[in-house]
Amino acid sequence: TDRYAVVGNPIAHSKSPIIHAIFAKATNQDLTYDRLLAPLDGFLKEIDLFKSTGGCGLNITVPFKLEAFEYAATQGRLTERAQLAGAVNTLHFSDTGVIGDNTDGAGLVRDITINQATSLTGKRVLLIGAGGASRGALGPILDEQPGKLVIVNRTKAKAEELAELCKSEIVSGIGFDELTEHYDIIINASSSSLSAEKLPLPTTVFEACELAYDMMYAAEPTIFMQQAATAGAKKTIDGIGMLIEQAAEAFYVWRHVRPPTTSVFETLRPST
């Protein structure tokens, strides 16, 4: 039986074991998937132990994605998308060595384009936030060839830095006070919803918005979703689909089988 796990701190709340158990069953894969709590100063020791006892792959969550990036960069190799993301959420211990990957952005884009049936191609896209979550989304969004991608952030310099990283003339970084235009797709990659804070977004940005997407998720619509709906966004969703699709993408990296995701949505959020 092949062994996988998710490493983080804290980790008890992680839904990954439930998701991967459903994937394994649906695709007839013989594997186990556990939760690993690593001490804040003991991440490397934890992965070395897991790897040396025959573990096949790990998902990495808060706060270890940057350490996992360093680990793969020095002990193995990084995929192109992990390099651009600057973080690793999936480690693969393969016959050819350690591979550090990042499936978060791909998960976001699959959720938008497939589950929400919303194309990004040619669209005006606004990405809110300039931290790790935002950076991980850049490459996969650009692969869809949007018409325009604007990164807006509280600290404008960080938005400009991320935009610079893209080396694309359709990407720019701005501060909230510069938001005047409207956007087709608006993605909240800031951690504003964690603190239940409303973002300083003029209602005009939502005027023609077909999809407002919050990477956060909760039992109730997030503050951002409420704000977007009130301002006229046609559709608002949270990031549960991104969570499921990044897991599916990791499963695919490890097993070379793409698991069906529909039943996971039903399990994690039963419709009443």
Quick one: 202 exposed, middle or buried, by C-beta within 10 A (0-12, 13-18, 19+)? middle
Is 155 within any annotated ligand binding site?
Answer: yes
User: Per-residue x/- mask for ligand ATR, residues 166 to 205, rule CB under 6 A?
Assistant: ------------------------xxx--x-x-x------
Burial pattern 211-228, b for ≥16 Cβ within 10 A else e, equals: bbbbbbbeeebbbbbebb
The interface mask with ligand ATR, positions 78-97, x = CB under 6 A, is --------------------
Q: Is the peptide bond preceding residue 10 cis, with omega within 30 degrees of 0? A: yes
Rounded Cα distance between 137 and 25, Å, is: 29
What's the rounded Cα separation, in Å, for the pair 246 and 259? Answer: 11
Catalytic entry in 25, 51, 65, 235: 65
d(CA 102, CA 88): 5
Please give the Cα distance from 192 to 214 (Å, whole number).
10
Residue 154 known to bind ligand = yes
CB 205 within 8 A of CB 230: no
Contact string 199-238 vs ligand ATR (x = CB under 6 A): x---------------------------------------
- Asked if residue 32 belongs to a known ligand binding site, the reply is no
Please measure the distance between the N-terminal and C-terminal CA atoms of the chain and give it in whole angstroms: 36
Nearer to ligand ATR among residue 22 and residue 88 (C-beta): 88
For the bound state, the minimum distance from the C-beta of residue 188 to ligand ATR, rounded and expressed in Å, comes to: 9
Concerning whether 65 is annotated as a catalytic residue, the answer is yes
Considering only residues 102 to 161 of the shown chain, the ones binding ligand ATR according to CB under 6 A are 129-134, 153-155, 158
Question: Is 130 marked as a binding-site residue?
Answer: yes
What are the residues binding ligand ATR (CB under 6 A)? 129-134, 153-155, 158, 190-192, 195, 197, 199
Task: Report the binding-site residues.
Answer: 14-16, 61, 80, 89, 104, 129-133, 153-158, 215, 217, 239, 246
**Residues involved in catalysis:** 65
